[in-house]
Structure 1
Amino acid sequence: MITPLGRRRYSRTSVKWPVTVLTSQDKTEGETENVSPTGAFISCTVVPLSEGSIRLVIKVPGHQPINVAGKVVWSKVLNPNKGEPSFGVGVQFTKISENDSHFLREVILKRYGKMINRFIAKTEQPPDQEGEASP
């Protein structure tokens, strides 16, 4: 969900998980580029219809598949000049189980926690001692 200020309500995290996109007329395979508890950015070789709802089956390694209903909110060509085109698709989830939403929030928290810890570790390192005389 986008807030009135144009900022997302939830953070997203970059993940590359296989995903099956199901529409009333078609089925295509793709890959998540990033996810949040309320949506996903997916790359695929066929653009799902932008009208009506779609179903996603997100295949998370080491976890049960995440089944969600959603709607396409935008799409674009990702590599127009490189062989077979691929498309980026923004999907807003319209129905997701509480367990799956919680799982996605946990994935995001873990990823951001690791990034924050790395940042803290870098900032807590003592400054270079170059140029100081040795005792």
Structure 2
Amino acid sequence: MATELEQNMSHGIKVRWPVAILYNRSLIQGESRNITSNGILARWNRPLDENETYRIVIALPGKRYIAVSGKVTWSNLDSLDPNGTFSDMAFYFLKLPEEDRPLLNQAVSAQLA
């Protein structure tokens, strides 16, 4: 039987955590919108290329950070906001280090409390 955390993580948890990508010597900043055990939906300050793999740093509460490799699987580039400044993009986690998984689970559990 799945735990409450596992059930919630499979559907996604609404969180607003800072996220960042270092790409081509520039920092792309964003904010998470939803996170699961397999990926993250985030809003970025500029569009990213679909089907590309990025190294994403997620700032968890308590000044803890995890770094994951994720591939863009979805974006709303065809419906950007009127100023064209924000892009929602979903990433599938290709690599989440095993030592970081408990940190992510703990941060999500705290959001559910």
1:89 corresponding residue in structure 2: 89
User: Aligned pair count?
Assistant: 105
Give 1:12 shift. 1.2
Give 1:10 shift. 1.6
The TM-score, its normalising length taken from structure 1, stands at 0.64
The TM-score, its normalising length taken from structure 2, stands at 0.75
**Separation in 1, partners of 2:14, 2:90:** 14
- Rg larger for: 1
Higher strand share: 2
1:56-95 maps to which residues of 2 (within 5 A)? 56-77=56-77, 80-81=81-82, 83-95=83-95
1:41 corresponding residue in structure 2: 41
**Separation in 2, partners of 1:111, 1:64:** 15
Residue identity over aligned pairs, in percent, reads 25
**Separation in 2, partners of 1:35, 1:100:** 14
Aligned partner letter, 2:41: F
Instruction: State the Cα RMSD in Å.
Output: 2.5
CA deviations 1:90-134 (Å, max 9, x no partner) are 00000001232233333444444x4xxxxxxxxxxxxxxxxxxxx
Structure with larger RCO (C-alpha < 8 A, sep 6+): 2
